[in-house]
A and B are shown apart, each in its own frame.
Chain A
Amino acid sequence: GAGVSQSPRYKVAKRGQDVALRCDPISGHVSLFWYQQALGQGPEFLTYFQNEAQLDKSGLPSDRFFAERPEGSVSTLKIQRTQQEDSAVYLCASSSTGPALYFGPGTRLTVT
Chain B
Amino acid sequence: DAKTTQPNSMESNEEEPVHLPCNHSTISGTDYIHWYRQLPSQGPEYVIHGLTSNVNNRMASLAIAEDRKSSTLILHRATLRDAAVYYCILRHQTGANNLFFGTGTRLTVIP
Contacts and interface: CB of A to CB of B under 8 A. Distances in A.
B2 to A, nearest CB: 15
A62 to B, nearest CB: 19
B98 interface: yes
A45 B103 CA distance: 13
Nearest to B87: A42
28 contacts: A31-B97, A33-B98, A40-B103, A42-B85, A42-B87, A42-B102, A43-B44, A44-B101, A45-B98, A48-B97, A48-B98, A55-B96, A59-B98, A91-B43, A91-B44, A93-B43, A95-B97, A99-B32, A100-B49, A101-B36, A101-B46, A103-B43, A103-B44, A103-B45, A104-B43, A105-B41, A105-B43, A106-B42
Contacts of B97: 31, 33, 48, 95
A76 B12 CA distance: 40
Contacts, number: 53
Most chain B beta-carbon neighbours within 10 Å: one of A42, A93, A95, A102: A42
Interface in B16-71: 32, 34, 36, 41-46, 49
Interface of B: 32, 34, 36, 41-46, 49, 85, 87, 91, 96-104
Given A45-B98, A91-B43, 16 more contacts: A4-B43, A33-B97, A42-B102, A45-B99, A45-B100, A48-B97, A48-B98, A56-B98, A59-B98, A99-B34, A99-B91, A100-B49, A101-B36, A101-B44, A105-B41, A106-B43
